[in-house]
Structure 1
C-alpha cells in the first residue's frame, strides 16, 4: 500500500526522522551480531545500530529434555513463527539432574569444577541457532541452585562466570542472563556478571526477575544492560497489569530496556492465546523493547510438538508484521495521556507516541468506538490506520481535523477483538 508508506514517511520526515526507509524496514533484515543497547537506552539494536525488536521464547529445559535434532525442530518452528530469540537455563532444574546426554554440569556439585562435556553439548545448539540468525539467551544462575552457589565465595562465583563466558565467547548470537532475585546477594550477581564481562567482548548482559520490583534504585551496584521479568505462577493478570505499568514508568526514566513475559494462566483456561496476545501488546506498549513469550513449551513435556503452534505463538508473526511497519523504536510510552479524554479509556488503552507528538499508536483490548483529543497532537490534519492483531491486516481509518472530540471506530465490531490504531499528522 503505497499510500501507507508515504503516510508513515511524511510523518517521519516532519519529525526529523526521514532517514528511516519504511519499505526496507518492513522486511525481515538479517541482524548483525552481537546485539547492543541503543544510545537512548530504550531498545536493542544489532551491531550496525539497526533497531532489533526482540521477540523471545522461554525454552528453559531445552538442554535437559531435547536431543540435537529436536532442538533444531524447535528452532525451525519458532523461526517460522517470527521469533528471533529463545532463552535457555544453562543448568538443570535441580543440582542432581543431567543434560540430555546424561552429563552433570559439575563434578560433585562443585561449581569450581565445571564438566566440559556438559557445556560442549550446548555449543552445537548455539551454532545451529546462529545459522538461523536466532539469538540465544543463556541463563547462567537459578533459584533451585541457590544452596550450591551460596556455599561458595566471590572468587568462585567470578570464576564460574569467566568459565561459561569464555566457553561460549566465540558465538556472537549470545546474550547473557544472570538471575537477580531477593534471595540472592548483590555480591553473587556482581561476581558472576564481572566474570562474564571479562571475556564476553561487549555482549549484552541481562538480569532476570520473576516478579515486579517494588522500587527502582539506580544507584545499586547490581546493574545490567537489559532486564527480563518473567512472572512465576503466582502472578495474576491484575498483577501483570501493575507490573507492565511499573515497566512503563521505568522505560520513561530511560534506565534500561525491559522485556516482560506473559503470565502463567490457570490450567483450566484451555485456550490462552487471546490472553497471551493481549499481554504481548501490553508489554510492547509499555516498553517498546520487545516481548517474551512463555508457554508450556518451556518444560518440553511429551506434547510439546503439538502445543508449539498454540498458546499465543500463532499470533507472533502478526505482531512482528505490524510492528515492522511502524516506527516503534522512536515511540515512547505515555503514562497519562491527554489524547484520551475518557478516564475509562485511559485505564484500558495503551499509548506510545513520537516525542514531537505528531504520531501515536494505541492498543485497544476490545472493539468499540473511542474518543480522541486530537488537539493534544501536533498538527491540523490527521490520518488513521487500523491493524488487526489477530490477522495482521490493516485498514484506512479515515481523515480527521484537529478537534477535542474525534470519534474513531474499529473497522469490525466483533466482540473480543482487539485493535491497533495508528494516528498521525499529515503534511
Structure 2
C-alpha cells in the first residue's frame, strides 16, 4: 500500500489504483477459531471487501480473557513479552488474506491499553515499551506486504490537558524501524473527529481517518469532515474508518433509548456514498454483530440482536460492495468534488446530495439520498451529447440509460421518488465510450 502521486488516493506497489473497502472485525483474533476466520474472510472477499480492520490487543477484556486456543497475547500484561502462541492465528490470518489480495489493517492495541478513559484496559503502555512492542511487531510482519498499521484504537491522541501522543509516536517509530521504514501507518480516532486534528503533520502518518460514528444521530455531515481533511496543506488520503454500523443502536450512550432504533442499510449507504463522493479514498463498513463476533459463545455488547454469522448477509454489506464496483468502473483518481453542479434541489443533512466529476471532466456521479427531480449544471462537460445512467445502489443494478442532447442545465428525474429511494446518477461524455456503471 502507498499514497498515489495526487496525495489524495491510494495505490498498490505496482501502481494500480486502490479503493479501500474495509470491514470492522475488531475482535477477530480474540473471539474466532481458525475455521471461523476462514468462513469470515471467504464471505468478505466474495462481497468485495479488500481491507479487514482487526485489533491484536482486543477491546473487550483482551488482556485477561484468552482467545479460542486458551492463549493470552502478552505474558504478565507486559508488551515486551508477547506470547508467541497467541500470534500464530494472526500470522495465519494475514497469509490467508494475502491469498485473496486482501489487506489486514492491524491495530497493535485498542486505545484503552494506552489511555483508560473508558473500556476494560488496563493502560499498560509507556513510551519505552510502546517502542519495543512496535519494533517487535514491525520485524515480525516486515515481509507481509498486505499489512497496514492502524494506531489509535478509538482514542484521541490528546484530550484536554492529557497527551498520549508521545506513546503513539514511540510505537510508530518502533513499527517503522522494525519494517525497515516500509510501514504504511494510519490512525483510528474516537467518534466525531479526524486523526488530522492532532496528527496531520506527523511524518509517520501516511493516511488520515475519521470516525463519523454512532453517537450523534443520523446523517452526521461526514462530507464536510472529508473536505476539511482534503483541503489541508500537505494533503494526505482520508476516509471514514467507522461510520454508523448497520444494526447498531442509534445514540446508545450513556443509555440507549429503544425509541431511537437502529441504523439501517439506508443509513449505511447515505454515509458511505457521501463520504466517498466528497473525496474519501474509500470507506469502511461495520455491522454491530460482526465487529464483536457475537454468538451463543460470547456475550453481546450494547444490544446486539444479530449474531455475526447472520450479520454477514445484512443488506448494507452488499451495498458497499456495489459502491466499490461503481467507483472502479471509472477513473477515480484525481476526481473533483463538485456539489455546486446541483443548481436546484440540493438538500440539507439527510437530503444532502453529494456529487463529483472526473479529473478530465469526462464523467460525473451524483448521489441522491432522496429520489426527486433536480437540475444539474453540465457545462463542465464539453460534448454536445450526454449519456445519463440511473444506478440503484440498493440492489447494485443499472435501471436505465438515456442518450440525449447536453443542455447546460439538465433536469434529472430518477425512476422512483421519495424518502428511502436513493439513487446514483452517472453522467458520461459519450466520446469516452465508458462501460455501463457498475460493470
Same fold at TM > 0.5:
yes
SS in 2 for 1:330: coil
Match of 1:174 among 127, 147, 151: 147
What is aligned with 1:213?
193
Cα deviation code 1:44-83 (max 9, x no counterpart) = 1111110011111000001111000000000001111111
By how many angstroms is 1:151 displaced? 5.6
Once the two structures are superposed, what CA deviation does each residue of 1:17-48 show, in whole Å capped at 9, x if it has no partner? xxxxxxxxxxxxxxxxxx21111111111111
2:239 to 254, 259, 262: 259
Distance 1:343 1:314 in 2: 28
Distance in 2 separating the partners of 1:158 and 1:96? 22
TM-score scaled to structure 1, two decimals? 0.83
Counterpart position of 1:298: 291
TM-score, scaled relative to structure 2: 0.81
- Say whether residues 1:341 and 2:343 are aligned partners: yes
Give 3-state SS (helix, strand or coil) of 1:129's partner: helix
Q: Deviations over 1:288-342 (max 9, x none)?
A: 41110011200000121111101511323322222221222231223x52x1223
Match of 2:301 in 1: none
Q: Give the aligned partner of residue 421 of structure 2.
A: 417
Query: Counterparts of 1:67-216 in structure 2 under 5 Å?
Result: 67-93=33-59, 94=61, 95-146=63-114, 152-179=125-152, 181=156, 182-183=158-159, 185-201=164-180, 202-213=182-193, 216=197
Give 2:216's aligned residue.
235
Which one of the candidate residues 349, 355, 370 is aligned to 1:366?
Answer: 370
- For the aligned residue pairs, the C-alpha RMSD in angstroms reads 2.5
Contact kept, 8 Å, 1:251 with 1:333, in 2: the verdict is no
- Write the distance in 2 (CA, Å) between the matches of 1:234 and 1:322: 29
Deviates more, 1:86-95 or 1:205-214: 205-214
Q: What CA distance in whole angstroms lies between the structure 2 residues aligned with 1:232 and 1:424? A: 34
The alpha-carbon deviation at position 163 of structure 1 amounts to 0.7
Q: Is the 8 A contact 2:21 2:282 kept in 1?
A: yes
1:400 aligns with 2:401: no
Give the Cα separation in 1 of the matches to 2:324 and 2:236. 22
Q: Which runs of 5+ in 1 are unaligned?
A: 1-34
For residues 206-259 of structure 1, what are the alpha-carbon distances to aligned partners after superposition, in whole Å with 9 as ceiling and x for unaligned? 111122337756774375112332345423224x22x33111232244621122
Aligned pairs, how many? Answer: 388
For the residue of structure 2 that corresponds to 1:189, the secondary structure is helix
8 Å Cα contact 2:345-2:373 kept in structure 1: no
Partner of 1:310: 314
Does the 8 A contact of 2:29 with 2:90 survive in 1? yes
Which stretch of the first structure deviates more once superposed, 348-357 or 143-152?
143-152
Unaligned runs of at least 5 residues, structure 2: 116-120, 251-257, 296-306, 432-439
1:99–1:229 distance in 2 versus 1, CA, 3 Å: farther
Q: Is the 8 A contact 1:387 1:421 kept in 2?
A: yes
- Higher mean C-alpha deviation, range 71-80 or range 317-326: 317-326
Match of 1:279 in 2: 271
Shifted more, 267-276 versus 162-171: the winner is 267-276
Q: 1:133 Cα deviation (Å)?
A: 1.7
Distance, in Å, in 2 between the alignment partners of 1:266 and 1:311 is 17
For residues 161 and 399 of structure 1, the distance between their equivalents in structure 2, rounded to whole angstroms, comes to 58
Does residue 384 of structure 1 match 2:388? yes
Structure 1 counterpart of 2:326: 322
User: Which structure is richer in relative contact order (CA contacts within 8 A, separation 6 or more)?
Assistant: 1
- Report which stretch shifted further, 390-399 or 342-351: 342-351
Deviations 1:172-212 (A, max 9, x none): 11111111613552211111111111122523111111223
| Residue pair 1:345, 1:370 contacting (<8 A) in 2 also | no
